[in-house]
Amino acid sequence: MSKNVSELIALADAMVPRIDKSKAEQLMSGTGAVLVDVRDAPEVEKTGKIAGAIHVSRGMLEFRADPTCKYHDQSFSMDKTYILYCASGGRSALSAKTLMEMGYKNVFNLGAFEDWTKAGGRVERPIEPGMQETSSR
């Protein structure tokens, strides 16, 4: 039986806990949770990313998260906590579900980048080549 994207996101939302800015900050300070921005590079370049987040586009997530893959990113380890976000929450829900299916246990969906910024969350702005990276609110 085939499913449309809305149904796939609903299944992911049912599986992955959704958290807000406050809970995310609590997890980051308490467990050292890793924030993962799964948006595409042009989106991150345009708006910046949550301060301290790593950027792994949704299309590369499985490759970066799999320790047996030559593209594995050392930021990914089964014993860490992960908080994913995207532009609206759909890609992050699907990505978080994928991590859980790969064996990651502590995975959360922060949802939309815009929700973070509207709540006053810190953002790292894109930088010009050769310039220092800056953070802002």
For 7-35, the pLDDT digits (tens) are 999 999 999 999 999 999 999 998 889 99
Mean pLDDT of the chain: 91
Going by pLDDT thresholds of 50, 70 and 90, the confidence category of residue 103 is: very high
Query: pTM value?
Result: 0.89
Domains of the chain, first to last: 5-117 (3.40.250.10)
116 or 132, which is more confident = 116
Phi-psi region of 89 (alpha: psi -120 to 50; beta: other; left: phi over 0): left
For 44-100, the pLDDT digits (tens) are 999 999 999 999 999 999 999 999 999 999 999 999 999 999 999 999 999 999 999
Going by pLDDT thresholds of 50, 70 and 90, the confidence category of residue 1 is: confident
Please list, in sequence order, all residues whose beta carbon lies within 8 angstroms of the beta carbon of residue 7, skipping any fewer than 6 positions away: none
Q: Are 109 and 98 in contact (CB under 8 A)?
A: no
Going by pLDDT thresholds of 50, 70 and 90, the confidence category of residue 137 is: very low
pLDDT of residue 82: 98
For 104-115, the pLDDT digits (tens) are 999 999 999 999
Strands 49-50 and 123-124: antiparallel
